[in-house]
């Protein structure tokens, strides 16, 4: 990965660094905060809640901003820990990280990058798109890592863990794969080459890989994509073995959604995990995506995580967001705070739940409105980078 340091050098100039003063959008106060308490010129340290003050653009006389509730009061109680920032709180609680997904187009937004780079908040990054098959091997045998390297360099420069996402998925496949006609031997070679090359490129730089993404339909049957149709269930082990050979130290995951409650789909994932482990396949973890709806967070999340950890696997919450029908109201945001708190508590209650990743931290760059018309406000920060009550729900659960 020779281009990584060069890429980081380029990115580094985007990040504001002023010794002794917090950068624009940076933290400048709050209970337990021991960093800078003054802000760079043109910004003012603004109390957002007792635990978090932020350098926001404006002068000292400017009115403190409110959250998207239009001024609703966070309801969380004081955390017992002295750590502040979600990643600091998570690590103080024994987790490996609290992290966020990101995507390359957002990295031109310097205010966004500055907050994403705050390791008190985020100790881990997942590239939302740039390590997927269509991005990395658009035609057979031709690999492009430019965008993935930018995200990897950002994480490495910040000292943040990196989750690789993903090797084998039915979606965002180039047409030479999705529409190809392969013998079993040929597709085995395609998968082995793809996973081996991509995982190998990032060898030593990745905490964990979503080697296989979303193998099941919601009723627990196998998704009938080119991989399953050609190789049956064996493609999963083929991909895992290629990944393990390419980077023996990366934790290898299968990642899916709607496996966060007990039922047909989580049972199917459990059965797959058991059969892979019995066959000696290199499987280390299960990713529970956790794309939820306000007021509808599954109550059996902790139980499901414990079912996987009972097999000796680790689990992670890999793509958390909790969407609502817009417009956001105080009541919806309060429910969202409770929902985020409950999700994070479930991870806290399971020792083998290693970390939590939000599928981007700000509503400005959430995937939700583009996919679910009329829905959004799914992230812990609003589109103006102000924290929402959801943030306090997460912090309360981690404390
Ligand atoms: O790259 C093209 C660009 O060339 C084109 O101009 C543009 C026009 O729409 O589209 C671009 O592709 C988009 C791609 O993101 C890259 O930005 C696709 O339209 C868009 O559908 C795609 O969405 C991604 C989605 O996965 C695809 O399924 C989201 O950004 C990404 O956040 C989302 O992430 C998934 C996880 O990988 C798996 N779990 C669910 C999660 C949310 O859907």
pLDDT in tens, 204-216: 999 999 999 999 9
Q: What is the pLDDT of residue 164?
A: 99
**For ligand 1, what atom is nearest to the CA of residue 367?**
32
Local structure of residue 365 (DSSP, 8 states): G
Cβ contacts of residue 108 below 8 Å, gap of 6+? none
Do the Cβ atoms of 84 and 393 come closer than 8 Å? no
Sheet harboring 43-49: ordered strands across? 27-29, 52-57, 43-49
Do the Cβ atoms of 83 and 92 come closer than 8 Å? yes
Q: What is the pLDDT of residue 42?
A: 77
Q: Is the CB of 319 under 6 A from ligand 1?
A: yes
Q: What is the pLDDT of residue 382?
A: 98
| Residue the block writes with tokens 């950002």 | 154
Q: Could you give the angle at the alpha carbon of 192 between the alpha carbons of 188 and 194, nearest 5°?
A: 120
Q: Is the CB of 289 under 6 A from ligand 1?
A: yes
The pTM for the full model equals: 0.84
User: At residue 12, does pLDDT exceed 70?
Assistant: no
Q: Is the CB of 133 under 6 A from ligand 1?
A: no
Q: What is the pLDDT of residue 21?
A: 80
- Percent with pLDDT over 70 in the chain: 83
Q: Whose CA is nearest to atom 13 of ligand 1?
A: 129
**For ligand 1, what atom is nearest to the CA of residue 359?**
32
Segment of 14-18, 81-85, 250-254 carrying the highest mean pLDDT: 250-254
Query: Is 156 known to be catalytic?
Result: no
Q: What is the pLDDT of residue 38?
A: 83
Instruction: Give CA–CA dist 397/399, Å, rounded.
Output: 6
Query: Which of 126, 129, 323 has the most ligand 1 atoms within 8 A of CB, as the residue to mutate?
Result: 129
pLDDT band of residue 53 (cuts 50, 70, 90) is low
Query: Is 118 known to be catalytic?
Result: no
User: At residue 71, does pLDDT exceed 80?
Assistant: no
């Amino acid at each position: 990965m020779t281009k990584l340091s060069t890429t980081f050098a380029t990115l580094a100039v985007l990040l504001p660094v002023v010794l002794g003063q917090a950068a624009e959008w940076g933290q400048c106060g709050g209970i337990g905060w021991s960093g800078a308490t003054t802000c760079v010129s043109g910004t003012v340290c603004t109390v957002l809640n007792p635990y978090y003050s932020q350098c926001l653009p404006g002068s000292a006389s400017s009115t403190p901003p409110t959250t998207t509730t239009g001024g609703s009061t966070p309801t969380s109680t004081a955390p017992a820990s002295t750590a502040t920032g979600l990643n600091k709180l998570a690590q103080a609680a024994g987790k490996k990280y609290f992290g966020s997904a990101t995507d390359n187009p957002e990295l031109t937004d310097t205010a966004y990058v500055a907050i994403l780079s705050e390791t008190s908040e985020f100790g881990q990054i997942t590239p939302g798109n740039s390590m997927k098959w269509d991005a990395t091997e658009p035609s057979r045998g031709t690999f492009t890592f430019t965008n993935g390297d930018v995200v990897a360099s950002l994480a490495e420069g910040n000292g943040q863990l990196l989750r690789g996402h993903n090797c084998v998925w039915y979606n965002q496949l180039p047409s030479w794969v999705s529409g190809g006609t392969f013998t079993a031997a040929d597709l085995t070679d395609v998968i082995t080459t793809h996973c081996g090359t991509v995982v190998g490129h990032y060898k030593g730089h990745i905490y964990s890989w979503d080697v296989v993404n979303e193998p099941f339909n919601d009723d627990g049957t196998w998704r009938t994509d080119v991989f399953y149709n050609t190789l049956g269930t064996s493609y999963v082990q083929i991909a895992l073995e290629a990944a393990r050979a390419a980077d023996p130290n990366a934790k290898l995951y299968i990642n899916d959604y709607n496996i966060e409650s007990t039922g047909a789909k989580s049972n199917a994932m459990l059965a797959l995990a058991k059969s892979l482990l019995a066959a000696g396949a290199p499987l280390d973890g299960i990713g529970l995506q956790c794309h939820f709806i306000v007021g509808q967070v599954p109550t059996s999340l902790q139980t499901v995580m414990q079912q996987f950890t009972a097999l000796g696997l680790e689990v992670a919450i890999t793509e958390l967001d909790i969407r609502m029908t817009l417009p956001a109201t105080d009541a919806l945001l309060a429910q969202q705070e409770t929902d985020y708190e409950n999700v994070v508590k479930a991870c806290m209650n399971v020792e083998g739940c290693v970390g939590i990743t939000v599928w981007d931290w700000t509503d400005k760059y959430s995937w939700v409105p583009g996919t679910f018309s009329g829905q959004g406000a799914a992230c812990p920060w609003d589109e103006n980078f102000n924290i929402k009550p959801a943030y306090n729900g997460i912090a309360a659960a981690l404390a």
